[in-house]
Amino acid sequence: MCGKCRAKVKMYGAMFLLGLIILMSRAAEALDNGLALKPTMGWLHWERFMCNIDCDRDPNNCISESLYMQMADAMVKEGWKEAGYEYVCIDDCWPSHQRDAQGRLQADPKRFPRGIKKLADYVHSKGLKLGIYADVGKNTCAGYPGSLGYYETDAQTFAEWGVDLLKFDGCYMDWKLLGEGYMNMSKALNKTGASILYSCEWPLYEWPFRQPNYTAIRETCNHWRNYADVYDSWSSVKSILDWTASHQDIIAPSAGPGGWNDPDMLVIGNFGLSHDQQESQMALWAIMAAPLLMSNDLREICPRSKELLQNRHIIAISQDPLGRQGYRTAKVESFEVWERPLSQNRLAIAVLNKQEIGGPRGLPIQAAPGWKICSPKCNVTQILPQYKEMGVQTPNSNLVVSVNPSGTALLTVTPISSNFPGRQSLHWQHPSFKHKNNIL
C-alpha cells in the first residue's frame, strides 16, 4: 500500500472514530432506565376506542379489562407479538373518579372488577407488557383524577401493579410547571426501582408558549408527543408529517436509542385511510423512527392491513440499531423524499406522491438527495408497494420509482465496495440535508 493511501485510510479511520464518539455521546443523553433502545411497538386504545365507558350498551368495545385481555390474546395468536409488538396500552378513562382512602388511584370497579394488577399478570402471562395512562396535571384530559401532588404515590402504585409503561398526558397543568412535573414524575418512577417506560406529552403542551428544551426532554422521557392527536384520516396523517418536516431540524437530532419523537398512533386497519395511505403512514412512521403503537381492533382487521403492519422489512427499518430519525430531504414535483440513515451505511428512501389526482407517477431515483451514497455501486431493494430486489445500481442509474397518488414507495440502498470503510457512515454523522435544488 502506498504511503498516500495509508494516510488516507488513517484519516478516514480517525473521522469514523470521531463519528462513533458523536453517536455514543448522543445516546448518553437519554433517560437512563435502559428502556426504549428501539422505538416502542405495541397497541394503544385511544384513537379507536376513545372514552367509550358504556359497557351496558357496548360491552365489546368499552374501556374494560376484557378489551385489553382480548387484544393481548389476539397479539399472541395472530402473529403480532412475533412481529415485535409488545406493549398493550391503556389510555384515558380507566380509573375511578375517586382516589381510595389512602389517596391511591384505583381502576373503575365495574369495568375492571379484578383490578389492574390482575390485568398486568394476565398480559405478562402472554409474554407481553402492560401500559397505563395518567396526567401530569390536576385532571386527565377526560376529567379523571390527575397526578399533580401525587407523583410518588402514583408511581409507586403503578410499580406495585406491575405496569411496564406510563403514558403521561399534559391536560389541566400550568404550562410553566410542565417541565418540573414531567421531571418529578420521571424521578418518582426511577425511585420505585421498577422498569417503567415513560411516554410524555411535555413538548406538545409547551409548543404553544415557547420552544421546548429537547435536551431536557430526552433526559426525562423515553418518547414524547410533539403535535396534535392523530385522527383516522389522511388529512390528519399529512398534517403530522408536515409538522414534523417543518420542525425536523429542532426535533430529529434528539431522537436516538432510549428516546424518540412520537407522532402518535398508527391508524392502519381502521376506516379513514385508503390502502395506499396506510402504506404511507407505515413507511413514514418507520422513517421517523416513531413508536409503532397501533390503535385499531386486532380482533377484526383486514388481512392487507395486518400484512402491512407486520411487514418485517418495514419493521426492520423502524427498529434499525443505528437509531437515527429520518428527515424530509426534498420536495420535487409534488413528491416528497424522506430519508433515514440505517446501520451498515445503508439508507432508507421513502417517496411520497402528494399529487392527489391522476394515476401513478414516476420519480427518477437520482432526485433523492441521499442517492449519492450509491457510489461507486449499490444494491437496491424495494419494500413498498411490493417487495422487489432491484439489483445493483450505479450513481447514473435510470431507475424510476413509481408511486400511486397519496401512496409511498419505500426502498433501501446498500452501498457496495467502498474503498474506505466508514466513509459513507461519516457522511451521515453530519447530515446536511439542505440541498440547493430542493425546497424543504
Q: For ligand NAG, which is the closer residue by CB, 190 or 366?
A: 190
b/e per residue 173-192 (b: at least 16 CB within 10 A) = beeeebbebbbbbbebbeee
**Residues involved in catalysis:** 169, 229
CA distance 92 to 171: 11
Binding of ligand NAG at residue 180 (CB under 6 A)? yes
Among 153, 213, 381, 418, binds ligand NAG (CB under 6 A): 213
Question: CA-based Rg of the chain, rounded to a whole angstrom?
Answer: 23
Binding of ligand NAG at residue 216 (CB under 6 A)? yes
Binding of ligand NAG at residue 303 (CB under 6 A)? no
Other residues' Cβ atoms within 10 Å of the Cβ of residue 242:
13
Least separation, in Å, of the C-beta of 384 and ligand NAG?
Answer: 37
Binding of ligand NAG at residue 212 (CB under 6 A)? no
Binding of ligand NAG at residue 139 (CB under 6 A)? no
Q: Which stretch binds ligand NAG (CB under 6 A): 156-164, 213-221, 272-280, 428-436?
A: 213-221
Binding of ligand NAG at residue 181 (CB under 6 A)? yes
Binding of ligand NAG at residue 33 (CB under 6 A)? yes
Distance of CA 432 to the CA centre of its chain: 23
CA dihedral 423, 429, 434, 436 (to 10 degrees): -20
Q: For ligand NAG, which is the closer residue by CB, 116 or 148?
A: 148
Q: Tell me the per-residue interface mask from 346 to 365 with ligand NAG, x by CB under 6 A, - otherwise.
A: --------------------
What is each CA distance from 148 to 55, 184, 210, 426, in whole angstroms?
29, 10, 22, 45
Among 14, 27, 177, 250, binds ligand NAG (CB under 6 A): 177
Distance of CA 169 to the CA centre of its chain: 17
Least separation, in Å, of the C-beta of 27 and ligand NAG?
Answer: 14
Binding of ligand NAG at residue 153 (CB under 6 A)? no
Place of cell 392502519: 268
Burial (0-12, 13-18, 19+ Cβ within 10 Å), 313: middle
Q: For ligand NAG, which is the closer residue by CB, 190 or 402?
A: 190
Q: For ligand NAG, which is the closer residue by CB, 181 or 269?
A: 181
Helix, strand, coil content of the chain in percent (nearest 5): 35, 20, 45
187-206 binders of ligand NAG (CB under 6 A): 190, 193, 195
Inter-helix orientation angle 65-77/115-125, to 10°: 10
Question: Where do contacts with ligand NAG occur on this chain (CB under 6 A)?
Answer: 32-33, 177, 180-181, 184, 190, 193, 195, 213, 215-216, 219
